[in-house]
């Protein structure tokens, strides 16, 4: 089994690199690296471009952009681990990377999912998941970084409203534990199947 979101911390702990190899700080040349895994998790559907940051500098969320869908590479010379992804901002996707920081803990929860709900189904969605903040979606603050909160001790979440010309849907980013997002994904799939 390769490196994934579940075993990343263990792998980094057991394979510490001194980052002694000079080419790591320059443009990544894929011939000098081997792919050892990826931080993918397709069990909760479409991902989001929302970034979330921890107030604890020793922790990094890997369920949010840009690490949530990256390849994990290792330098063949020095063993440095690199997270490789495509930066989709701007005109065209560009290769980008982040060096693994061996002093950090890479946290799997919370993570982020993009959700789009028809307004006619919104009340049922709010009721199913007790997401009362969505009753007034116009009051949800817009922005690219979520403020992650503990909500009633049940789960961690927040929303980012998407300004859209489509008046039939309310779309937002939902930040929550993976299991909660899997439930949301299953609810959406069942709803789409019933339509």
From 80, 54, 50, 82, select the one nearest 66 (Cα to Cα).
50
Residue 99, classed as helix, strand or coil, is strand
Maximum distance among all Cα pairs of the chain, rounded to whole angstroms: 57
Q: Which residue has the tokens 């390849």?
A: 71
Q: How does DSSP assign 166-193, residue by residue?
A: -TTEEEEEEEE-HHHHHHHHHHHHHHHH
Q: What is the tens place of the pLDDT at every residue in 16-33?
A: 877 667 666 656 677 888
Q: What is the tens place of the pLDDT at every residue in 138-174?
A: 665 555 444 545 444 344 444 544 445 456 777 777 8
Q: How does DSSP assign 18-83, residue by residue?
A: ----GGGGSS--GGGEEEEEE---GGG-S----B---SSTTEEESSSTTGGG-EEEEETTT--EEE
Q: What's the pLDDT at 151?
A: 43
pTM of the full structure: 0.81
Asked if the peptide bond before residue 66 counts as cis, ω within 30 degrees of 0, the response is: yes
From 169, 64, 61, 73, select the one nearest 125 (Cα to Cα).
169
Q: What's the pLDDT at 23?
A: 62
Q: What's the pLDDT at 195?
A: 53
* Mean pLDDT computed over 73-87: 89
Mean model confidence pLDDT for the chain: 79
Q: What is the tens place of the pLDDT at every residue in 82-108?
A: 999 988 766 677 888 888 999 999 999
103 near 173, Cβ under 8 Å? no
Give the contacts of 145 (CB within 8 A, at least 6 positions apart): 50, 51, 52, 53
Between 7 and 173, residue with greater pLDDT: 7
């Amino acid at each position: 089994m390769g490196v994934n979101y579940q075993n990343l911390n263990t792998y980094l702990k057991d394979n510490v690199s001194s980052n002694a190899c000079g080419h790591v700080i320059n443009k990544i040349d894929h011939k000098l690296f081997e792919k050892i895994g990826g931080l993918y998790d397709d069990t909760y559907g479409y991902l989001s471009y929302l970034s979330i940051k921890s107030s604890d500098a020793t922790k990094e969320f890997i369920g949010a952009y840009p690490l949530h869908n990256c390849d994990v590479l290792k330098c063949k010379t020095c063993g440095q681990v690199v997270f490789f992804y495509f930066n989709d901002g701007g005109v065209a996707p560009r290769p980008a990377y982040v060096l693994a920081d061996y002093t950090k803990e890479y946290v799997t929860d919370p993570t982020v999912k993009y959700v789009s709900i028809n307004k006619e189904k919104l009340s049922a969605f709010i009721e199913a998941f007790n997401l009362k903040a969505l009753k007034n979606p116009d009051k949800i603050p817009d922005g690219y970084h979520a403020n992650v909160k503990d909500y009633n001790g049940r789960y961690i979440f927040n929303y980012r409203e998407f300004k859209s010309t489509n008046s039939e849907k309310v779309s937002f980013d939902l930040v929550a534990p993976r299991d909660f997002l899997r439930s949301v994904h299953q609810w959406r799939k069942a709803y789409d199947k019933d339509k």
